[in-house]
Amino acid sequence: MCVLTAFMITLWVILASEPVSVSTTLDNSLPLSKMDLATERDRPFYSNCVDTREYLLNPSYTKQNASFVMLARNEEIEDVIKTIYSIEEHFNQWFHYPYVFLNDQPFEEDFKAKILNATSGADVEFGTIDEIVWNFPIDVKDTFDFYNAIEDQGDRSILYGNLESYHKMCRFYSGLFYKHPLIQKFEWYWRLEPDVEFFCDITYDPFWEMFQNNKKYGFTIIIPELYWTVPNLFRHTKSFVRKKAIKMGSLWKLFTKDYNFFESDDAELRDWINCGSKAEAKVSEKVAIEHLLKKGDNSRKINDDKEGISNLINKARSKKHIIEDKFFNEEYNLCHFWSNFEIARLSVFDNDIYNDFFQYLEKSGGFWKERWGDAPVHSIGLSLTLDLDDIHYFRDIGYRHSAIQHCPWNAIGNEEFPYVASGSKFKRKNVVYDEGSDFGCGCRCKCPKKKHEIEDSTSLCVSIWVKLMNQQRNHERHVGVLNGDEMERNIREDYSKTYGN
């Protein structure tokens, strides 16, 4: 509940500062979970269940060089088993992808035995993270500044900020996990966490479909980050972008607010307008003042123009709004892929730009001076090289970790391909799946009742995603771009009709 409360506070702050317009293709009277969010650019690979046996026998199908990856401790064995059973039941009992388990301490034999017993014949490897890799550099971790920063975050009630182990985990996942020798053997990975539930059957191979559709990174939850965990992340990112002269991919637009959103020939207006909701008032002010000034020295006409005088006084008293986190007319909107679920090519991280980006952030000290999560680091880092079309929303995959979950509506016709277990371990009895819907995309989903659907409870970032994906390729713009010149023409016409020329 603490996590959800913190997310809701962050979301309220964002929405209060700037309402984000949603795509005109969306019905704003409905929650997102009851809408078909598929676009020509990205949609579920299958809108219903498929016959998995036929799928696997298709001559065109090729199993990918891929693995599940989980960072876990020995004492988390029960939660790890829960995750394995869920992913095996809903997917891997048919596809048999291997697992890689990593730990900063050697895995105990009992842990290994229970893991091997939980899988349905998949290969399993256990790796230890080198102490030098897991810990912060020696010139950092034994200093007063390091421990003072960690304790200070705890004093300020920053979520997990007082846990040194959490900082280490976030840093490891941000830029080091894909360097581990056991991970390097694969081209693709699917990240898992202890205590994860899957709610729908995945009857196709996500790795193969991503390969076939030229997708490089897949998510199932996108939400806003807690502001005080990353107050300076974007500042350092913009510094890196300028220093390296990075030309960002179009994915950058998903995570940033562009203050160049007011397109106008008037440079003064562009400079003054930082908030879309204030644009019309500022343009109206300009028109009213110009109308007043046209009256020249005619004092009687000037005195009669109360509208113009009022706007002139208001402008004289007003000050430009300073936005602390705006750098070169852009600001991080706090949206990020919730990275405890991600399916991706290793190469989206293991490349020169992302590696340099991580090293730049490492030198800044933000992984311990602040509580930078790997989720915002991954998201912003990916946007330095990837385009929107490289990303896939696994909306059909029901998923829960911690108190946050996404569970889609079933597609109509789930009964066409009934569940067939690969062995007695995963047999189901008397399971009643959720009712199908014409906007559903899940396969044999059984969603928890009385649980918040993340698409509805924190819909801001999903709305931005849908808005961007509804735009034409090569014509992508940030959400909420306004045509200032057109707005000014319309206001002038209305003003002339009301007050005359």
Q: Where are any strands of DSSP class E within 300-456?
A: 330-332, 335-337, 343-345, 391-393, 399-401, 404-406, 410-411, 436-437
What pLDDT was estimated at residue 18?
42
HSE-up of residue 410 (Cα within 13 Å, Cβ side): 19
Which of 53-62, 147-156, 465-474 has the lowest average pLDDT? 465-474
Is the pLDDT higher at 338 or at 289? 338
Cα–Cα distance between 444 and 291 in angstroms, integer?
65
Q: Which tens digits make up the pLDDT trace of 278-316?
A: 777 777 777 777 777 776 655 555 566 677 677 777 767
Report whether 455 contacts 223 (CB < 8 A).
Answer: no
Which residues participate in catalysis according to the annotation?
342
Cα–Cα distance between 281 and 271 in angstroms, integer?
15
Which of 24-28, 125-129, 340-344 has the lowest average pLDDT? 24-28
Report whether 396 contacts 407 (CB < 8 A).
Answer: no
Report whether 217 contacts 392 (CB < 8 A).
Answer: yes
Extract the tokens encoding 383.
Answer: 């946007």
346: pLDDT strictly greater than 60: yes
Q: Which helix (H) or strand (E) holds 93?
A: helix 93-95
Residue 4 pLDDT level (bands cut at 50, 70, 90): very low
487: pLDDT strictly greater than 80: no
Distances (CA, A) of 192 to 24, 287, 332: 35, 57, 27
pTM: 0.85
Q: Give Cα 394 to chain centroid, integer Å.
A: 12
What pLDDT was estimated at residue 7?
46
2: pLDDT strictly greater than 50: no
Q: How many degrees, rounded to 5, is the angle at CA 327 between CA 326 and CA 331?
A: 50
Report whether 273 contacts 322 (CB < 8 A).
Answer: no
Cα–Cα distance between 391 and 427 in angstroms, integer?
34
For 430, other C-beta atoms within 10 Å of its C-beta total 4
Residue ranges of alpha helices (H) inside 305-449 are 306-317, 352-364, 366-369, 374-382
What pLDDT was estimated at residue 275?
66
Residue type, 271: D
- DSSP notation for 111-136: HHHHHHHHSSS--EEEEE--HHHHSP
Query: Among 313-317, 410-414, 495-499, which range has the highest average pLDDT?
Result: 410-414
Extract the tokens encoding 172.
Answer: 């490891």
Q: Which residues contact 30 (CB under 8 A, 6 or more apart)?
A: none
Q: Which tens digits make up the pLDDT trace of 153-165?
A: 999 999 999 999 9
Query: What are the backbone dihedrals phi and psi of residue 369, each rounded to the nearest 5 degrees, phi first?
Result: -65, -30
Would you say the C-alpha torsion 128, 133, 136, 138 has a positive or negative sign?
positive
What pLDDT was estimated at residue 278?
72
Q: How many degrees, rounded to 5, is the angle at CA 288 between CA 287 and CA 289?
A: 95
Cα–Cα distance between 371 and 231 in angstroms, integer?
9
Report whether 234 contacts 327 (CB < 8 A).
Answer: yes
6: pLDDT strictly greater than 60: no
Domain ranges of the chain: 2-11+40-230+335-408+451-469
Query: What are the backbone dihedrals phi and psi of residue 126, each rounded to the nearest 5 degrees, phi first?
Result: -120, 130
224: pLDDT strictly greater than 60: yes
What pLDDT was estimated at residue 497?
72
What pLDDT was estimated at residue 121?
83
Residue ranges of alpha helices (H) inside 294-443 are 299-304, 306-317, 352-364, 366-369, 374-382
Cα–Cα distance between 489 and 501 in angstroms, integer?
14
Residue ranges of alpha helices (H) inside 119-163 are 131-134, 138-141, 144-155
Expressed in angstroms, the distance from the first to the final Cα of the chain is 59
Which of 49-63, 209-223, 460-474 has the lowest average pLDDT? 460-474
Residue type, 167: H
What pLDDT was estimated at residue 501?
61
For the chain, what is the radius of gyration of the CA atoms?
26
Closest by CA to 460, choosing from 278, 254, 224, 241, is 224
What pLDDT was estimated at residue 296?
62
Q: How many degrees, rounded to 5, is the angle at CA 428 between CA 423 and CA 434?
A: 135
Distances (CA, A) of 49 to 154, 220, 291: 46, 18, 64
- DSSP notation for 178-229: GGSHHHHT-SEEEEE-SSEEE-S---S-HHHHHHHTT--EEES-EEEPPGGG
Strand order in the sheet with 399-401: 196-198, 399-401, 404-406
Mean pLDDT (the chain, rounded): 87
Q: Which residues contact 446 (CB under 8 A, 6 or more apart)?
A: 199, 200, 431, 432, 433, 434
Cα–Cα distance between 209 and 201 in angstroms, integer?
16
Query: What are the backbone dihedrals phi and psi of residue 291, each rounded to the nearest 5 degrees, phi first?
Result: -65, -40
Q: Which tens digits make up the pLDDT trace of 350-405?
A: 999 999 999 999 999 999 999 999 999 999 999 999 999 999 999 999 999 999 99
What pLDDT was estimated at residue 210?
98
Extract the tokens encoding 347.
Answer: 């190469």
Is 2-11+40-230+335-408+451-469 in CATH node 3.90.550.10? yes
When pLDDT is averaged across residues 476-494 and rounded to a whole number, the result is 76
Buried b (16+ CB within 10 A) or exposed e, 486-500: ebbeebbeebeeeee
